[in-house]
Structure 1
Amino acid sequence: MVSSLGPVGGTRRLADDRGHGGARDLGGAGLWSIGRGEGHRAGQFVGTLGGRAVTQRCVLLTRAREDESQLRSHLTDQGLRVLQWPGVQLQPLELPGGEAALGEALRSAEVIVFPSPGAVRCTWAQWPALGSLLGALGLRIYAQGPGTRAALEARGVLQVTTPLRTDAIGLADRIHRDVPPGTRVVLMVGNLAGDVLPRRLAAAGLSVARLVVYENRPPEDLAQPQCVVDCAVYGSPSAARNHLQNNPWLHAVPGVAYGPTTADWLMQNGDLPRVIVAEGPTWSAVFEAVNHVLKGSTS
């Protein structure tokens, strides 16, 4: 059984999660073989050194600044220019019934699941004392990936389980292994959350309630003048969609995806010269994927 508690008017789906494989290059023959009769020279001219032109490579990050601080720091330390243009704006949503509805949902549950750092931020923005309530209720707490786990730990929630396979399928399978059929599970999600996780949990015999705690919106100032970008990093299909709609010149820029869901969306809708999916949704895996793109653009 799957139920949903969220704002009046229901929710809207964007994309389903897919299976998470290893790191793979999903692109075509060449990074800058755009296929539209256009040329694109990688790098930005910044001066000369020893009589030779010097360029500074540029990487675009599209998640919230707090979610990519380590990645941004390591890219900057490598001498890269980093643009941080978040592709989504998360607006906390008050549940129908407010705090009383949240308390009732949690007291009737045995497991609570946070699929993303954004879900953690928006939940705590509305209920700053939630950590104490979770401790008092003794709920099992799951985070989909290491970034989400870190967001929970930063708020004092230390007993958190994260699956080895950090996508919706891996999370559902881990919860299924850990708890018996009939267990009541609460998912803290946004209005564009996919349905793979709740469907798999329900198919395993668990009782699932979805609490829609934030709305995913495009930032008002997302459109930017065209500039030279060597690689764009996308953390979700919605961020990719928002950026490509507002900045169509990014269609000519190779993309790195945090996970297979975003990579699938980019392959189907992005019309990019190349798409690479990181081995996992960690800063180190994305860092490696970005360097793979940058290395390829110089060959």
Structure 2
Amino acid sequence: MRFEQIRRDRSVYEHPVQRRASGGAGGIRVGTRGSALALAQARAVVAQLERIEPTCSCSLVAVTTTGDRDRATSLTILGGSGVFVKELHEALLAGAIDLAVHSAKDLPTVLPLELEIVALPVRADVRDVLITRIASSLATLPPAARVGTSSRRRRALLAAARPDLKLLDVRGNVDTRLRKLDDGSYDALVLAAAGLERLDRLEQVTEYLDPDVFVPAPGQGALAVVCRRDDPWRDIFARIDDHEIRLAVTVERSFLAAFGSGCTVPLGAYATVEGERVRLRVAVAPNESGPVIRESAVWHRDEAVEGAGALAQELLRTLAAAAGRSWAPGAKPLTGRRVLVVRPAGQEQELVERLRRLGAEVVVEPLIAIVPPEDWREIDHTLLRLSDYDWLVFTSANGVRSVLDRMSVLGIPVEMLTRVRVATIGPATARALQEYGIEPALVPDRYVAEAVADALVAAGVAGKRVLLARAAEARDVLPRRLVEAGAEVEVVPVYRTEQRPLSESVRKELQGGTIDWVLLTASSTVRSLVAALGDTSSLHERVKFAAIGPVTASTARAYGLRVAVVATRYTSEGLVEAVVRAERSAR
């Protein structure tokens, strides 16, 4: 294999990328996540490409996804579907890579219109496996054994097979999970056989779980290659497609699609092609506690995709009956309401979790990307002189993460922040700082720039040196007020925001009135939404907007958006509370 290089995602996004045809001077750029497993999968696809087209030259480009950045939060809270693919598809659409290699089970059922699954070339062992040091099988694990898995499907199937086990969430790559098993954090793990096979770790397996009982996730074990529909090498990429694998995975994804592209229901679907027949086994549950509903069906191969969708519709009705009140309309204050969240990717999980607990159907459409500064030199020079400042002020959690990550790159210990007094704009920013073991000296009662300024002036900033780490596009009210109070202020933009396009599906929902609420968490989200829409007059009159505070509300109204509620507490919790109050008043 002729790999030119493996590049990290910073090289993709720090500088503008001109879209170019595949196979040009730089060869075919293959996008992948940066884990050992993802790289192994990408190399397997490249090997196939180079076998069928020996003249092609490929390089791997490693891209960090939402799921990679946040290793602590449950995948269910992160949103599950799409958290490992979104940034790769953005790189494809931007022309920064020419194709992306995914685990097929990570792909949402709806892709951007410009992209397609051009090939499903490889499928390894589809089974789940048990790994344990204390038993010979799942059946012989002792009662209350701690079993780690981040999959809702596996939790539901484990609960059905062994309700006496203690099921714990576990995140991280395969090596990280195995280390947690070895250090005693867990008694057993349930993983995919395919990943262990590709990493040459099958010797770790204690037991292979029967796929008729432990029904695999749709697409499990298969690799999916995604490219732009207009890519000039599309036909070359398509030559590595395996038609039997494609049919089986398409049937599984048809079943999944009937539950919705953002499905978080515990669900397994496993299809096998047997000549002219396709057999599908499925298992679904209303939640991780069950009950698990199992079905098996056989169709002629020409009818299997449609049949899988019809079977899913039948099971949806059965599932609703089995779930009882938890699926009944009106059980929770936001049941039946569709809520659009447009805040930056990777930062929506707490808000999404809270909305789902209240019964809302959440549509996640990040319209802002948080990207590094174009040039780090000024920031680096400033961070190396941290002890020269009296105050360091953070106005967002993004600023905290950007500064702390850059300090790590520069080899500056976190303890340097104890040499300055640190102020944060609110509790979310304070929590981001506390994750690094630093306690802010000042958090104002109101979470706006004006309140930070008032608190700093009251603390006595006259004659003090203040370093303000913020977004490049932030308002100037805070530095202006501090300068007026006699402070010497240095403003350093430590990150930028970039607008993302609005998907056609969400645009149609906003125009058709099938979105009930749009949550506006900052003025930047307002501007991005308006820019993405182009014409706000096309919004359906049913769509209501909720603003996190008066500044955001003012920005929204200036653009002609109908702000129905404004949070009295300027936090995501306060924003959700305001929507709930409005819904209860309306009913």
TM-score (norm. length: structure 1)? 0.74
- Separation in 1 of the partners of 2:398 and 2:560? 24
Q: 1:142 to 1:245 in 2, by over 3 A?
A: same
What is the aligned counterpart of 1:62 among 305, 318, 342? 342
Do the aligned partners of 1:87 and 1:222 also contact (CA within 8 Å) in 2? no
What is the aligned counterpart of 1:288 among 552, 574, 577? 577
Runs of at least 5 residues in structure 2 that lack an aligned partner in the other structure? 1-315, 330-334
Residue 468 of structure 2: aligned partner: 187
Residue 457 of structure 2: aligned partner: 176
What is the aligned counterpart of 2:549 among 240, 259, 262? 259
- SS of structure 1 residue aligned to 2:384: helix
What is the aligned counterpart of 1:230 among 513, 516, 519? 516
- SS of structure 2 residue aligned to 1:74: helix
Q: Which structure is larger by alpha-carbon Rg, 1 or 2?
A: 2
Query: Deviations along 1:239-264, whole A, 9 cap, x unmatched?
Result: 11211332355564211111211100
List aligned pairs for 1:143-162, cutoff 5 A: 143-162=424-443
Q: 1:97 to 1:164 in 2, by over 3 A?
A: closer
Residue 83 of structure 1: aligned partner: 363
Higher mean Cα deviation, 195-204 or 65-74? 65-74
List aligned pairs for 1:272-287, cutoff 5 A: 272=562, 274-287=563-576
- SS of structure 2 residue aligned to 1:152: helix
Query: Deviations along 1:150-181, whole A, 9 cap, x unmatched?
Result: 11111221244201121111100101111241
Do the aligned partners of 1:231 and 1:294 also contact (CA within 8 Å) in 2? no
List aligned pairs for 1:16-35, cutoff 5 A: none
- Separation in 1 of the partners of 2:560 and 2:432? 30
- Separation in 1 of the partners of 2:413 and 2:444? 23
Residue 43 of structure 1: aligned partner: none
- Separation in 2 of the partners of 1:242 and 1:215? 13
Q: 1:98 to 1:141 in 2, by over 3 A?
A: closer
What is the aligned counterpart of 1:132 among 415, 420, 445? 415
Runs of at least 5 residues in structure 1 that lack an aligned partner in the other structure? 1-45
- Separation in 2 of the partners of 1:222 and 1:195? 32
Do the aligned partners of 1:91 and 1:214 also contact (CA within 8 Å) in 2? yes
Query: Deviations along 1:221-256, whole A, 9 cap, x unmatched?
Result: 655442211111111122112113323555642111
- Separation in 1 of the partners of 2:336 and 2:413? 45
Higher mean Cα deviation, 144-153 or 62-71? 62-71
Query: Deviations along 1:184-214, whole A, 9 cap, x unmatched?
Result: 1000011111011011111111111101111
Deviation of residue 279 (structure 1)? 1.0
Do the aligned partners of 1:113 and 1:141 also contact (CA within 8 Å) in 2? yes
Deviation of residue 97 (structure 1)? 4.2
TM-score (norm. length: structure 2)? 0.39
Amino acid at match of 2:525: A
Residue 486 of structure 2: aligned partner: 205
Query: Equivalent pairs: percent with the same residue?
Result: 28
Alignment RMSD, CA only? 2.6
What is the aligned counterpart of 2:392 among 112, 116, 122? 112
List aligned pairs for 1:238-253, cutoff 5 A: 238-247=524-533, 248=536, 249-250=538-539, 252=541, 253=543
- SS of structure 2 residue aligned to 1:291: helix
Q: 1:122 to 1:219 in 2, by over 3 A?
A: farther
- Separation in 2 of the partners of 1:217 and 1:195? 19
Between 1 and 2, higher relative CO (CA 8 Å, sep ≥ 6) is seen in 1
Residue 106 of structure 2: aligned partner: none
Do the aligned partners of 2:518 and 2:545 also contact (CA within 8 Å) in 1? yes
Q: 1:162 to 1:251 in 2, by over 3 A?
A: farther
Residue 283 of structure 2: aligned partner: none
Do the aligned partners of 2:379 and 2:494 also contact (CA within 8 Å) in 1? no
Q: 1:292 to 1:181 in 2, by over 3 A?
A: same
Higher mean Cα deviation, 143-152 or 280-289? 280-289
- Separation in 2 of the partners of 1:176 and 1:146? 20
- Separation in 2 of the partners of 1:147 and 1:183? 26
- Separation in 2 of the partners of 1:231 and 1:66? 20
Amino acid at match of 1:69: Q
Amino acid at match of 2:486: G
Amino acid at match of 1:189: R
Do the aligned partners of 1:67 and 1:117 also contact (CA within 8 Å) in 2? no
Amino acid at match of 1:233: L
Higher mean Cα deviation, 140-149 or 279-288? 279-288
Amino acid at match of 1:282: T
- Separation in 1 of the partners of 2:580 and 2:347? 19
Q: 1:143 to 1:130 in 2, by over 3 A?
A: farther
Q: 1:294 to 1:250 in 2, by over 3 A?
A: farther
- Separation in 2 of the partners of 1:60 and 1:251? 14
- SS of structure 1 residue aligned to 2:489: strand
Residue 446 of structure 2: aligned partner: 165
Q: 1:250 to 1:102 in 2, by over 3 A?
A: farther
- SS of structure 2 residue aligned to 1:270: coil
- SS of structure 1 residue aligned to 2:573: helix
Q: 1:130 to 1:61 in 2, by over 3 A?
A: farther
Query: Deviations along 1:23-72, whole A, 9 cap, x unmatched?
Result: xxxxxxxxxxxxxxxxxxxxxxx98999xx95721111122355443332
